[in-house]
Amino acid sequence: MSSLRPGSGSAFPSVIPRNQQIAMRHGGGGRAMRMLIEEVFMRGASDLPVDGVGLSAMDDGAAIRIGDQFLIVTTDSHVIHPLFFPGGDIGRLSIAGTVNDLSMMGATRLLGLTCGVILEEGLSFDVLERVQASMQATCREVGVPIVTGDTKVMGKGELDALVINTTGFALASRVVRDNGLRVGDRVIVTGTVGDHGLAVMATRNKLQLEGKLESDVAPLFDLVQRVLAVGGDAIVAMKDPTRGGVASALHEMAGKAGVGVLVSEEAVPVSEAARAASELLGIDPLHVANEGKALIGVRPDRAQAVLAAIREHPLGRHAAIIGTAIAEPKGKLVLDTGFGRRLLAEPEGEPLPRIC
């Protein structure tokens, strides 16, 4: 069980000076958001007594022991602009995002989702119906029902269009944490990185790109079942690289496990269109949000078998081993560019707000 204390493991000072206000970066999934949670939400909060995963672990969700199983719970609020983007929409995102967090905790049986929506006065029924249809279609794809919900309306201008919160419940017999990497373990990414964030950015900036740049938003539950079946106990860590991208998620995994990770930049799969967009925008794909990818830590002797299994899955065709856990420097990522090595800095936050 990791015991992250406010500011621990960081050479940086607090990002929340006195009398300051919340800035967009505090929701960006990077260092600023982590500090916000540590310094505000975790202060004085009681945690699970024993044998579970609670808030202080800052994992993808919670695990509460019930008999010989664990109840996995996670919650996520979705704010994205625009509501409809290449490859997906806020409806699909709101289901996939929560299902993926459950999956990353090692869930093997999905029980149900809740759905709370806050609507802006003036939102058209047509938009709402399209979003609802997309949510239902994604639920069917995964095989999980929405079991309860809540609806609120706020005045025009008090929020932008639509916010969706989903909470997910699932069962697991073995919880997979994000802190299990040991020296020598391999890190697999299940496909091309940066597609979601770059697709949304390209849409907002009206970039004309050759090739198809689409969000990867997809539920990973089925893919993860295959990973767990083939890898078993050799699957030691999982995390979905959403806001802040692979760089942010891997930093968390390395920091919590007390290892470094050597990442091969040449091994990281990036689609042609995403690469073009990232060069144009000057943004590293490793810093950009994904919504249908997982980082999987696996013991070295099972890495190839797990990789092969992932590649057989339609969502995992471009999977690759991108990194190896190393003893030093602890909590840091070393990027081998092919020309040399540098540190892969932990992003302050997602380069763009309202991305998921």
Q: Which residues bind other proteins (CB under 8 A)?
A: 11-13, 15, 25, 262, 266, 326, 328-329, 332-345, 348
232 CB neighbour count, 10 Å cutoff: 12
| Nearest distance from C-beta of residue 264 to other proteins, angstroms | 11
Q: Are strands 146-154 and 186-189 parallel, antiparallel or unpaired?
A: unpaired
Q: What are phi and psi of 24, to 5 degrees?
A: -55, -35
Q: What is the DSSP letter of 166?
A: E
CB nearer other proteins, residue 11 or residue 50? 11
Q: Which amino acid is at 39?
A: E
| Nearest distance from C-beta of residue 334 to other proteins, angstroms | 6
| Nearest distance from C-beta of residue 343 to other proteins, angstroms | 2
Sheet order of strands, 186-189 included: 235-239, 295-298, 186-189, 320-326, 260-264, 333-336, 341-344
| Nearest distance from C-beta of residue 336 to other proteins, angstroms | 7
CB nearer other proteins, residue 212 or residue 342? 342
| Nearest distance from C-beta of residue 263 to other proteins, angstroms | 11
Q: Which amino acid is at 217?
A: V
CA distance 292 to 287: 15
H helical segments located in 232-331? 245-257, 272-281, 303-312
CB nearer other proteins, residue 16 or residue 315? 16
CB nearer other proteins, residue 253 or residue 344? 344
313 CB neighbour count, 10 Å cutoff: 18
CB nearer other proteins, residue 37 or residue 262? 262
Residue of 129, 136, 110, 334 whose CA lies nearest to 222: 110
CB nearer other proteins, residue 313 or residue 332? 332
| Nearest distance from C-beta of residue 180 to other proteins, angstroms | 22
CA distance 71 to 347: 32
| Nearest distance from C-beta of residue 257 to other proteins, angstroms | 17
CB nearer other proteins, residue 15 or residue 53? 15
Residue of 24, 21, 33, 76 whose CA lies nearest to 346: 33
